[in-house]
């Protein structure tokens, strides 16, 4: 399919890698339309491959849940040439059945679940068909992956949780969750960069600051990192919040 053909109305492919034009100087490699595990793993592996490939004329690589956006320098390469180079990379593997590479970095992140720091935990657990304690146990036992950074600066989408966490967003917007709120919906967790209205369910709070504009590494979490949630009490979280350290008690383990 040519780039122009792929853009015709009615041609979206649900379960097949596609190279699609994406705005001025952009191409999107997309593995599926929905956030299914195979497509998420494929996007992560392909992101790693394209990052290592050092493609000439490539200016920006933006990983997302099931896709990777590539921005090119039009003075160095045409859209068609860049699409061809991506096609060559894509043909190297069957990305949708490839096993993902293990994460190089593992974050251990203190969180206070439920209570004042997670006012929607009980409701969310009920929607998932679990008791509050079973919900806490399951969420903290699941190795999470940073699926994408976005929406707001540094803000991670974490997942995937087991299928029964495929919760719809709340019918009424939560007018304001605090910075550091950990919220659940559609098998994912989002750790809010700033206080924000949201349709997601707030189940926990962290003191970890995902965006530090005045530091040399303003966005500590990277797509592909693993995250493990370490439960702490509400009182301990209050102390971490009061201490004001942007790490919020988190620790980053680097695997060799």
Partner 1 sequence: MSDGSVILRALGPSVSVQDMGRPGRMAQGISRGGAVDPLALVEAAALLGSRKPLPALEMAVSGGRFEVTAPTRIALTGAPMQAELDGRPLRWGASHRMEPGEVLSIGAARAGMFGYLTFAGGIETPEVLGSRSAHLAAGIGSALESGARLPLGVDPEPDAPSMVLTQDDRFSGGTLRIIPGPQTGLFDEATFSRLTTTEFIRARQGNRQGVALESDAPALTSDKAKGLASDVIFEGDIQMTGAGTPYVLLAECQTIGGYPRIGTVLPCDLPRVAQAAPGTKLQFKAVTLDEADALTPRWEAQLQAQRAKLRPLIRDPHDIHDLLGYQLISGVTAGRELEEENG
Round to whole Å and give the CA distance between 95 and 99.
8
- The region of 8-16, 113-121, 170-178, 237-245 touching partner 1 under the rule CB under 8 A is 8-16
User: What minimum distance in Å lies between the beta carbon of 92 and partner 1?
Assistant: 22
* Minimal distance, residue 94 CB to partner 1, in Å: 20
Note whether 252 binds partner 1 by CB under 8 A: no
Smallest distance, Å, CB 132 to partner 1?
Answer: 27
- Report yes or no: 167 and 201 within 8 Å, Cβ to Cβ: yes
Nearest to 111, CA basis, from 192, 217, 194? 192
Q: What is the 3-state secondary structure (H, E, C) of 174-221?
A: EEEECCCEEEEECCEEEECCCCEEECCEEEEECCCCCCCCCCCCCCCC
The residues near 160 (Cβ < 8 Å, ≥ 6 apart) are 35, 37, 40, 145, 147, 187, 188
Residue 77 CA to residue 75 CA, distance in Å, equals: 6
Output the smallest distance, CB 99 to partner 1, in A. Answer: 21
197-236 residues in contact with partner 1 (CB under 8 A) are 211, 213-214, 218-219, 223
Here's the x/- map for partner 1, 117-156, by CB under 8 A: it reads as -------------------------------xxxxxxxx-
Residues that bind partner 1 in the complex, under the rule CB under 8 A: 3-4, 6-13, 18, 20-26, 28, 30, 32-35, 39, 59-67, 69, 71, 74-75, 78-79, 148-155, 157, 193-194, 211, 213-214, 218-219, 223
């Amino acid at each position: 399919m040519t780039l122009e053909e792929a853009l015709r109305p009615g041609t979206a492919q649900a379960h097949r890698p596609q190279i699609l034009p994406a705005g001025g100087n952009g191409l999107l490699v997309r593995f599926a339309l929905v956030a299914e595990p195979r497509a998420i793993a494929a996007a992560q592996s392909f992101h790693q491959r394209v990052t290592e490939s050092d493609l000439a004329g490539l200016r920006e690589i933006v990983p997302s849940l099931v896709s990777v956006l590539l921005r090119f320098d039009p003075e160095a390469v045409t859209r068609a040439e860049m699409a061809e180079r991506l096609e060559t990379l894509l043909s190297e593997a069957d990305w949708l059945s490839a096993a993902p590479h293990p994460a190089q970095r593992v974050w251990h992140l203190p969180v206070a679940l439920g209570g004042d720091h997670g006012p929607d935990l009980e409701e969310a657990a009920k929607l998932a068909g679990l008791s509050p304690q079973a919900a806490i146990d399951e969420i903290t036992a699941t190795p999470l992956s940073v699926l994408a950074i976005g929406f707001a600066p540094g803000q991670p989408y974490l997942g995937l949780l087991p299928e029964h966490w495929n919760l719809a967003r709340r019918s009424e917007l939560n007018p304001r969750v605090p910075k550091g709120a950990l919220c659940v919906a559609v098998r994912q967790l989002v750790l809010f960069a700033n206080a924000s209205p949201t349709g997601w369910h707030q189940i926990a709070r962290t003191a970890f600051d995902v965006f530090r504009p005045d530091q040399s590494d303003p966005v500590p979490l990277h797509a592909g990192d693993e995250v493990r949630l370490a439960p702490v009490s509400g009182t301990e979280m209050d102390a971490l919040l009061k201490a004001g350290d942007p790490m919020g008690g988190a620790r980053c383990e680097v695997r060799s």
